[in-house]
Amino acid sequence: MVDVVSSEAGIPRPDHPLNQSGGAKWFLPAFGVLVLVGVIYVGYALSQDLAVAKTVPWILLGIALLIALGFEFVNGFHDTANAVATVIYTRSMPAEFAVMWSGVFNFLGVLTSSGAVAFGILSLLPVELILQVGSSSGFAMVFALLVAAILWNLGTWFLGLPASSSHTMVGSIIGVGLANQFMAPAGSATSGVDWGQATNVGITLLVSPIVGFFAAFILLYVMKLLVRNPALYEAPKGNTPPPWWIRGLLIFTCTGVSFAHGSNDGQKGMGLIMLILIGVVPTAYALNRTPDINYLEAYKAASVGVETALGNYVKPGVTVTDAKAAVQDAVRTRSWSDQTTVALQTYIHDTTASLQPYASVDNVPTDLVSNARNDIYLIGEALKLIDKKKLLPMQDADLKAVTDYHKAVDNATKFIPLWVKIAVALALGLGTMVGWKRIVVTVGEKIGKSHLTYGQGAAAELVAMVTIGMADRFGLPVSTTHVLSSGVAGTMAANGSGLQWSTVRNLLLAWVLTLPCSITLAFVLFIIFRQVF
């Protein structure tokens, strides 16, 4: 692959785990064919989707997609070390083959992901920017947060620091939200950053490495009590691979972490690509053009249900002149009044009436698609003030109508075409095979004072696999980097091996600086890009 690992004297060490040969010669050609087939499919599917678009700004679309896929590519080679370091340093798999193996399961993880994390991340963005994603401010938002995330990831990779791509993306989104508020005209109301959602995501990112450290610590300690095989807790001897059952466990956990990483981290790129597509070619991607024609009818039924439910809380004599404007103000200020109830009921009625003549999205005129999506999205955000913020107390039966509406909105607006998943999977898989050695060395050699043992590798990887898998299940973004690195540190502490505090200090420094640095980068870039677009 790339650089040669050397000893302190600068002399190559053939017995070093990173220098083990064993990469299958057939793998790269086979993967190359897979990439070619994937690119052809992505191009074909994209052209089919764009056939319904009136005009396509090809240059802008191409640049935006390349940057978004570039983020996933960098994410791939930045985070690969977390999955493969343990199997390489325990000599369970040859280094090059381990990276290839991880790339395949990152690829599969992306393809089978649900999309919940993708839209959870996007919910951090200011509502008005999402509604104006096709405007100059929308383009500035997308480019600012993507470029900021790529710059920070590349910088920490160059320094060999296992920093978090998830932290970086969240920080970039917060930076864009703050810049949007900063640039808003005096006296205007902007929703800015959703600090409630940001706090929830921040707590998840903060707690997950702590969970990784202590869970791996406890797991290794329990293993020592229950599995009294000295070979499990000794450093590998020479180039000899571990016993088959230990090797199988380590490969299984490496596979699980790779799959979970693709499933969780790959979704961030998917969400951003969907944001780009909605902004650049809304007529093709604003609403879900699924073959199932029933979902639009289900949306209409849910709209009628929630309109009826709101009617139970309308006070006599309350009127509004501009229903949409009143709903927008409520969402921006996160407040509720009697006028808001009337406005939302009216707004829902008007939106449903505009879609009533059409049985499926394919029948909806292209001029109406983008506005319809914005209307549906805004109504959904307003209803969150009821069921999430509890600003309008409702009976349980009426609250059910609200949750049914959210489900219908998700079907209409939260979708990811298969070609987007394949494009992100290819970018992440390719990135996995590039530039991985820097961070592998940090995780494998510089966290603990002694060589990583089989038991330590298995405990750290198992904890990371379960933690990331559970987070993906609940739609929460977590840092693969922090969970695995802290897990390795936890096993070193449990083993009494001691920690290299200079490395731990650098890891903590990267952890602490990622949010403020990515916030600052995105803030500055948003202001610059607002002058460009």
Would residue 456 count as lying in a domain?
Answer: yes
Contact 129, 477 (CB under 8 A): no
What are the CA-CA distances from residue 122 to residues 176, 287, 416 (Å)? Answer: 12, 16, 13
Contact 81, 434 (CB under 8 A): no
Domains of the chain: total: 2
Would residue 10 count as lying in a domain?
Answer: no
Tell me what the mean pLDDT of segment 5-24 comes to: 51
Torsion-angle region of 20 (φ positive above 0: left; ψ -120 to 50: alpha; else: beta): beta
The rounded distance, in Å, linking the Cα atoms of 130 and 529 is 16
Lowest mean pLDDT among 127-131, 153-157, 405-409: 127-131
DSSP state of 320: -
Contact 427, 72 (CB under 8 A): yes
Do 268 and 158 reside in the same domain of the chain? yes
The pLDDT, as a whole number, for residue 6 is: 39
Do 263 and 400 reside in the same domain of the chain? no
229: containing domain: 27-285+421-432+442-532
Q: Give the sign of the dihedral formed by CA 514, CA 529, CA 66, CA 361.
A: positive
**% of the chain surpassing 70 pLDDT:** 85
Would residue 6 count as lying in a domain?
Answer: no
Would residue 17 count as lying in a domain?
Answer: no
Q: pLDDT band for position 10 (50/70/90)?
A: very low
Do 116 and 218 reside in the same domain of the chain? yes
The pLDDT, as a whole number, for residue 12 is: 43
Residue pLDDT, tens place only, 469-515:
777 677 666 777 778 778 888 888 887 777 777 767 777 777 778 88
Q: pLDDT band for position 448 (50/70/90)?
A: low
Do 237 and 336 reside in the same domain of the chain? no
Do 307 and 326 reside in the same domain of the chain? yes
Do 265 and 233 reside in the same domain of the chain? yes
Tokens 């505090």 identify what position?
501
Do 281 and 299 reside in the same domain of the chain? no
Would residue 12 count as lying in a domain?
Answer: no
Other Cβ atoms within 10 Å of 360 Cβ, number: 16
Of residues 230, 259, 261, 257, the one with CA closest to residue 246: 230
Do 402 and 453 reside in the same domain of the chain? no
Would residue 216 count as lying in a domain?
Answer: yes
Do 301 and 278 reside in the same domain of the chain? no
The pLDDT, as a whole number, for residue 358 is: 86
Q: Is the pLDDT of residue 459 over 50?
A: yes
Would residue 52 count as lying in a domain?
Answer: yes
Would residue 116 count as lying in a domain?
Answer: yes
Contact 407, 303 (CB under 8 A): no
The pLDDT, as a whole number, for residue 5 is: 41
Residue pLDDT, tens place only, 516-531:
899 999 999 999 998 8
Contact 484, 443 (CB under 8 A): yes
The pLDDT, as a whole number, for residue 90 is: 80
Tell me what the mean pLDDT of segment 149-163 comes to: 80
Residue pLDDT, tens place only, 286-332:
777 765 656 788 888 999 999 999 999 999 999 899 999 999 888 88
Do 99 and 232 reside in the same domain of the chain? yes
Query: What mean pLDDT, rounded, does the chain reach?
Result: 80
Do 387 and 525 reside in the same domain of the chain? no
Residue pLDDT, tens place only, 188-212:
445 566 676 677 767 777 777 888 8
Do 324 and 269 reside in the same domain of the chain? no
H helices present in 186-243, as ranges? 195-226
